Structure 1
Amino acid sequence: MKAKRCLLIDTDKDKEFLDEQLHKVANLLKAGKTVVFPTETVYGLGANALDPEAAKKIYEAKGRPSDNPLIVHISKKEDVDFLAGNISQDSKLLMEDFWPGPLTLILDKSDSVPIETTGGLMTVAIRMPSNPIARKLIDLAGVPIAAPSANISGRPSITSSKYLVEELCERVDAIIISEDSEIGLESTVVDMTASTPVILRPGKIGKTEIEKILNKEIELDPSLKDENAAPKSPGMKYKHYSPNATVIVVTGSLDEMKQKINQKLSLDKNIGDKVKVVCLEDRVSLYDGYGISWGKSSQEAAKNLFKILRLMDEQNIEVVYFEALNSDEISEAVMNRLIKAAGNMIL
């Protein structure tokens, strides 16, 4: 790809002129350019969702297969009416309770949304981010922004601004640098096109929360485990989130995981400091200097997962063992990403 020099905007350093700078970025979006922007989940790599050529530039910048659908980001709930049809009462209930926030709804697309944005599907993925900079940018641009995670396809998503410039500045037209992502995992994705809603990608908003709002049971899509299924949701079809290190997920009871990992560590002495064990903070001491914490809880682990994966590359780690989490629904969302990062290597 031909190198380009991107416009960099630091929301902290540019506070005095932030509105002016955001107008510049909005104008780039109107002109069909690509922009990296912050959200509460992960950073997004966006372009005008209504412009087929702009959508193609997203795939090019990421090196992403064009049959992998993009999420369309909006700033106002009423924008859904322009982008989708056959909007059910259940969909409206979820919008009312969870928007703005980390919930993406799959709806029947309108003719306004090009198939280049939806990966060739007749459905569209829509969400309203809670990050105020993201929403202001969408407002200023006057168009919805199609955006997958801001990273080279297959690499860990970016939740910290320190990785943005090095990885993406030569691939996009502008980058908005802001604080670290609040949540750290991509949004929950729910297919609302069937009579029973189906979770296609787990996230911070779990099945139990959604069922409470809808007052009925919903389903988990079996395609979460079937790599050959058609990708109705972003992130369902291809290997994701992978660092250069070999990632191995270790399952079992707490004692079983400790035993399995320490047995492996005894065999990995030849690579010395090139091996690490990622676990909750209260278990780090179990691994004789190899352990590193990804937080005190599953919520903290979710926020830190992608940072840890990228840290492994910074430290030139060759093998990293992750203790599995299984305490709650956010743990399920973390494990969904982690197993993809491991390429299904489970011990």
Structure 2
Amino acid sequence: METYVWDVRNYVHDLSTYPQIEEIRAGFEDNELIAIPTETVYGLAANARNAAAVAKVYLAKGRPSDNPLIVHIHSQEQLDFVREIHPAAQQLMNHFWPGPISFILPLKKDSLAEQVTAGKDTVAVRMPEDSIAQQLLKIVGLPLAAPSANLSGRPSPTNYEHVYEDLNGRIHGIVRGDDSHIGIESTVLDCSSYPFRIARPGAITASMLEGVVAGCVTEADYTSDEAPIAPGMKYRHYAPNSPIQLIEGGISAPLHADAHTAVVGPESIRTLVTGGTFYPLCQDEQDITGASAHLYDVLRSIDHNQAISRIILSGFKRDEASQALMNRIDKASAGK
């Protein structure tokens, strides 16, 4: 069965006037899977209180059952499934929500479907800033569990086409909005103990958090093989079909590639590359925002080129600004 597509781009200022909004609401109430746009990546949303709906998420994505999901809300009043909130976490929520950050919080027993948290006693929660996502969450009135709307392990979807490519026929529908402007998944902050720990890097960095609550973040380890407490920590993620060779620090000398190689990097290095097919990721080495926004789209574009059998990716200087981007590139390159 083909997946429904609801193109709401002309209704971004008032989603309630979209002629088929009741169809979308009914889909969620009937515990169907519907992909929605957010500022980070498109999410595959389901009623977080219904076990059957959440089970469909894992099945549609081919997602490991111990990989928890992030619950999306439209206001802090919906946090009735959380036991308590640390005062510092509350300060951070007040400052950064709505926005690209998820908070891992203690969960009230039996308040959400068990598979949302992969059986853990904590839950990751986010309030997206995307206008369509915000309005849709208000209209539906349910907390929605929403991992990235792609097949597990694939580059995350940053536009409707990516979702349709991976999940057409596997899910009930797709709410088509604009492309995700951030392009990589949210920061995940583990607030189960203090000081907090960044379980997954994203657009909200440690120094940004420290700027609101001094001393609130401890050093993170993104390489743990323990059961993941947040999405993106353990399993193979973000990977295209062809293997990636990462050039640490970026391509700085002339490079010749064969006809079956894609070279990915800033436009500023194009003159160093001969042969192969060059895929620009951003303008220059300092354009981390541009590189983050386009990474998954470029990797998916390469998959459509059947002549390509390997990828050379020009890396970026490793610092706090590039941490989230390089985390995704590392995962895609290692195939972990």
Report the TM range for the smaller structure's normalisation.
Answer: over 0.9
Q: Contact 2:66/2:227 (CA < 8 Å) preserved in 1?
A: no
Partners in 2 of 1:287 and 1:185 — Cα distance? 27
Amino acid paired to 2:263: V
Greater helix percent: which structure?
A: 1
Which residue in 2 is equivalent to 1:298? Answer: 288
What does residue 67 of structure 2 align with? 68
TM-score normalised over the length of structure 2: 0.93
CA 1:196–1:293 in structure 2 vs 1: closer, same or farther (change >3 Å)? same
User: For residues 209 and 286 of structure 1, what CA distance do their matches in structure 2 show?
Assistant: 35
Aligned partners of 1:114 and 1:164: how far apart in 2?
A: 24
How many Å apart are 1:321 and its aligned residue?
A: 1.0
Q: What is the alpha-carbon distance in structure 2 between the residues aligned to residue 302 and residue 175 of structure 1? A: 23
Alpha-carbon distance in 1 for matches of 2:16, 2:77: 30
2:263 matched to which residue of 1? 277
Measured in 2, the distance between the counterparts of 1:327 and 1:342 equals 15
**Aligned 8 A contact 2:279 2:298 in 1:** no
Corresponding residue for residue 245 of structure 2: 248
Letter aligned with residue 85 of structure 1:
R
- The TM-score, its normalising length taken from structure 1, stands at 0.90
1:308 is aligned to 2:261: no
Query: Does structure 1 conserve the Cα–Cα contact (< 8 Å) formed by 2:150 and 2:162?
Result: no
Amino acid at match of 1:97: H
Q: Hey, what's the Cα distance between the residues in 2 that align with 1:18 and 1:49? A: 26
| Aligned 8 A contact 1:326 1:332 in 2 | no
* Whole-Å separation in 1 of the counterparts to 2:165 and 2:292: 24
8 Å Cα contact 1:200/1:220 also seen in 2: no
- Cα distance in 2 for residues equivalent to 1:14 and 1:200: 35
Q: How many pairs does the alignment contain?
A: 328
State the match for 1:173 in structure 2: 172
Q: How does 1:33-182 map to 2 (within 5 A)?
A: 33-80=32-79, 82-111=80-109, 112-182=111-181
Amino acid at match of 1:128: M
> Residues of 2 paired with 1:54 and 1:229: CA distance?
27
Is 1:329 aligned to residue 315 of structure 2?
no
Structure 2, unmatched stretches of 5+, are: none
Most deviating of 32-41 and 280-289: 280-289
Deviations 1:240-292 (A, max 9, x none): 0111111111114x5xx434x82xx4xx53xx1x2121111211111125433
CA distance in 2 between partners of 1:26 and 1:243 (Å) = 34
| Aligned-partner residue type, residue 209 of structure 2 | I
Q: Distance in 1 between matches of 2:213 and 2:22?
A: 39
Q: CA deviation at 1:160?
A: 1.8
Q: Which amino acid aligns with 1:131?
A: D
Residues 11, 18 of structure 2: 8 Å contact kept = no
Partner SS, residue 252 of structure 2: helix
Q: Give the AA of the match of 2:217.
A: I
Q: Is the 8 A contact 1:34 1:47 kept in 2?
A: yes
2:226 to 226, 229, 232: 229
Q: CA deviation at 1:14?
A: 7.0
Matched-pair contact (CA < 8 Å) for 2:88–2:216: no
2:6 is aligned with 1:9 = yes
**2:237 maps to amino acid:** H
> Percent identity over the alignment?
36
